[in-house]
């Protein structure tokens, strides 16, 4: 388990990460969300000891990352996909990494296939696209098949197919009992990948919870063949009904089953019935504006 406790970073008297605490559980993909400059990268760098914390701590199974005998075998990280030698081939880069963490060269070929770079493995990294560099970085993180994956903005440069591939990879890792933390400032990219959201704004955690809870709205949206008659029946049953565009009725404080029951009792024909979902963007701006 990853435990982050009171992590704080100051640069020249300015606090850019402010008392950040959370735990990461096995079997879960956690999305670390926040706008540019919110402190995601700095937090992740402190977790691996790349940046010293001003105060607070981060541990992996009770030990600091830097104190682990073979950190790469415990936590695979993607923190700076650009930090590779452009003159090396993808395969040479991964072989160097593999030997540093005690992984056999045969595993290099496995991860190259896994990330879809088998055909490009003999080419120099300098000629790779941004998305290919991301895939190479992900390959490096996967080399030792570590239980924990921590990826900073992994979707950068990936096309829609690449984003779907990464989603399957990370969900699959968690389904096998792995722990995943990925950061993003693009909410749509992670909405369907993560189980849990950790939202950061101006260095502080502003929300932490299951996606369904944080995005769950208040009420039900319903469309009916005769919206006026249904609205009257719902109001008679004590519900507050708002009339929206396209004859959509929003019933605050209700569950779909409540509205279904009123509709059935009155013989109203429904065209659509669903819980109101708060957009991730709405949630995000509301939370970070308040921080």
Residues in the site for ligand ATP, rule: CB under 6 A? 11, 16, 34, 36-42, 185
Q: Which is nearer to ligand ATP, 30 or 41 (CB)?
A: 41
Q: Which is nearer to ligand ATP, 39 or 146 (CB)?
A: 39
Extended beta strands in the chain, E state: 2-11, 14-24, 28-33, 55-60, 75-78, 148-151, 179-184, 196-201, 204-210, 216-224, 240-243, 249-252, 270-277
Between CA 55 and CA 46 the distance in angstroms is 10
Q: Which is nearer to ligand ATP, 39 or 154 (CB)?
A: 39
- Contact 270/263 with Cβ under 8 angstroms? yes
Question: Dihedral through CA 151, CA 152, CA 157, CA 163, nearest 10?
Answer: 40
In angstroms, give the least distance from the CB of 8 to ligand ATP: 12
In angstroms, give the least distance from the CB of 260 to ligand ATP: 43
In angstroms, give the least distance from the CB of 40 to ligand ATP: 4
In angstroms, give the least distance from the CB of 286 to ligand ATP: 18
Between CA 167 and CA 160 the distance in angstroms is 10
Q: Which is nearer to ligand ATP, 41 or 89 (CB)?
A: 41
In angstroms, give the least distance from the CB of 285 to ligand ATP: 15
- DSSP letters along 174-194, please? HHTT-EEEEEES-HHHHTTT-
Q: Which is nearer to ligand ATP, 42 or 77 (CB)?
A: 42
């Amino acid at each position: 388990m990853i435990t982050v406790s009171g992590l704080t970073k100051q640069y020249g008297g300015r606090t850019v990460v402010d008392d950040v605490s959370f735990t990461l559980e096995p079997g879960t993909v956690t999305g670390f969300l926040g706008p540019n400059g919110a402190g995601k990268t700095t937090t992740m760098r402190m977790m691996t000891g790349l940046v010293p914390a001003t105060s607070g701590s981060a541990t992996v199974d009770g030990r600091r990352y830097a104190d682990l005998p073979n950190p790469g075998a415990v936590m695979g990280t993607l923190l700076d996909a650009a930090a590779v030698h452009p003159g090396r081939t993808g395969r040479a880069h991964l072989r160097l990494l593999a030997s540093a963490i005690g992984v056999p060269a045969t595993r290099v070929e496995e991860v190259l296939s896994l990330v879809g770079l088998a055909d490009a493995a003999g080419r120099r990294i300098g000629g790779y696209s941004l998305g290919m560099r991301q895939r190479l970085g992900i390959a490096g993180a996967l080399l030792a098949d570590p239980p924990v994956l921590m990826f900073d903005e992994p979707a950068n440069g990936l096309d829609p197919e690449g984003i779907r591939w990464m989603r399957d990879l990370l969900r699959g890792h968690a389904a096998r009992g792995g722990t995943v933390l990925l950061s993003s400032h693009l909410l749509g990219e992670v909405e369907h990948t993560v189980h849990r959201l950790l939202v950061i704004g101006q260095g502080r955690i502003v929300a932490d919870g299951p996606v369904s809870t944080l995005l769950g709205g208040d009420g039900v949206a319903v469309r009916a063949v005769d919206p006026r008659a249904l609205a009257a029946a719902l109001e008679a049953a004590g519900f507050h009904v708002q009339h929206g565009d396209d004859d959509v009725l929003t019933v605050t404080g209700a569950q779909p089953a409540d509205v279904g029951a009123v509709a059935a009792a009155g013989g109203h024909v429904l065209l659509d019935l669903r819980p109101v979902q708060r957009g991730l963007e709405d949630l995000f701006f509301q939370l970070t504006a308040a921080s």
